[in-house]
Structure 1
Amino acid sequence: MHTTRALLRPLAGRVTNAAAMQQAALSLPRNRYPQHMMGRGASVVGLKDHIYFAKATASGAGRRGVVESTGDAPLKLNMNLPKVAGGKGEGQNPEQLFAMGYSSCFLGALQLAASRADHGELVDTAKVNASVFLGHPEDPNMDGFGLRVELTVEGCDDDAIINAAHEFCPYSRALTQGADIKIMKV
């Protein structure tokens, strides 16, 4: 299937009534993931407290709209589909932002893991590359899109440190063990 057509295929036969879509989203079970998503029977990672939170607001035309975050260093970005997906490519897209956040977070986790192992020097020049792929799920009965993420670590050959970073990184935990997600309406 041609990439542009794949990303922009019509939503025929899908729920389009806004009220029905909202009700369906709100009726999703919280903290419940299919067992095949949980890895070794683990449960969703809950939080007993929080030390920081980030808030972002999307407005406008979704993937062609605006997203902004307030806080210590406010950020406002114009969003756009990549050219390959039929957009003008004149803005950022959620997959770019996810890749940036994950690679940065994993690098921090890698540095912490190396430091805890008294081998901080092993990651002095390390880099983490994240590739985020958006595509259709293999399951033909699953609607929408899915993600595949590939991380590559440069400058660190220690598997134990890389594995420790993967276990510590909140992005890795969210993707492998689930996250506590609440969808609320205002």
Structure 2
Amino acid sequence: MENQNVIESANTLNVVINKVLYTGKVHVSGGREGFAKSSDGVLDTALSSPGSTGKGTNPEQLFAAGWAACFIGAMKHNAPQLKIALPVDAAIDAEVDLALADSGFNLQARLNVVLPGLTYEEAKTVVEAAHQTCPYSKATRGNINVQINVAI
């Protein structure tokens, strides 16, 4: 692309990145009624607005899937250090709302974490640790309403 100018390049959290582990690259055209394709071609999907009859997924579903997958990864990362055996059938039902507030459009989310076989204290411990280390949790902390529910 020609004539690229940086509009924003702020390190507002003063986080120093030591090493980039992965960069997800996705080209989107057409917005909510468009298409999304990753640079490796694995993601190649139509997009549609929430509640529409379009045949594609929507950004809220993609965000929910990404956050849930990342959060489970964070639980898997933290569980051994906490000496908690994470159940193989650990799951998350993630819900991301597109909402309207006084300030305009906003998101809010609920992560319904299911950890069968753990005690409530074990589940709470691993979920709290994951919420501190999951990059999606870090990105949303203080920015959107988040509710985390735990079922055992």
TM-score > 0.5 by shorter chain: yes
Sort the TM-score into its range (normalised by shorter chain): 0.7 to 0.9
Relative to its length, the structure with more helix (as a share) is 1
Tell me, yes or no, if the aligned pair for 1:63 and 1:80 is still in contact at 8 Å.
yes
Which of 44, 51, 63 is matched with 2:32 structurally? 63
Please report how far the alpha carbon of residue 44 of structure 1 lies from its aligned counterpart in structure 2 after TM superposition.
5.4
1:89 paired residue number: 54
The unaligned stretches of length 5 or more in structure 2 are 144-152
> What TM-score do the two structures reach when normalised by structure 2?
0.77
Structure with more contact order per residue of length (Cα contacts < 8 Å, sep ≥ 6): 1
Describe the SS at the equivalent of 1:123. Answer: coil
Residue in structure 2 matched with residue 39 of structure 1 by the alignment: none
Look up the match of 1:148: 108
Higher strand share: 2
Calculate percent identity across the aligned residue pairs: 32
Cα offset for 1:108?
1.0
| Change over 3 Å in CA distance of 1:161–1:147 after alignment to 2 | same
TM-score by length of 1: 0.64
Partner AA of 1:101 in structure 2: G
Residue 30 (structure 1) aligned with residue 10 (structure 2): yes
**What is the CA–CA distance in structure 2 between the aligned matches of 1:173 and 1:46, rounded to whole Å?**
15
C-alpha displacement of 1:176: 1.1
Q: 1:128 to 1:174 in 2, by over 3 A?
A: same
Q: Which amino acid aligns with 2:109?
A: V
Where has structure 1 moved over 6 Å in runs of 4 or more?
none
Q: Cα 1:44–1:80, aligned 2, differ >3 Å: closer, same or farther?
A: farther
Q: 2-side partners of 1:98 and 1:162: how far apart?
A: 19
CA distance in 2, matches of 1:51, 1:111: 18
1:125 aligned onto 2:51:
no
Does the 8 Å CA contact 1:45/1:174 hold for their aligned counterparts? Answer: no
SS in 2 for 1:30: coil
Deviation, 1:74, is: 2.2
CA distance in 1: counterparts of 2:14 and 2:27, whole angstroms: 25
Q: Paired residue for 2:73? A: 108
Larger Rg over CA atoms: 1
How far the C-alpha of 1:48 sits from its partner, in A, is 2.2
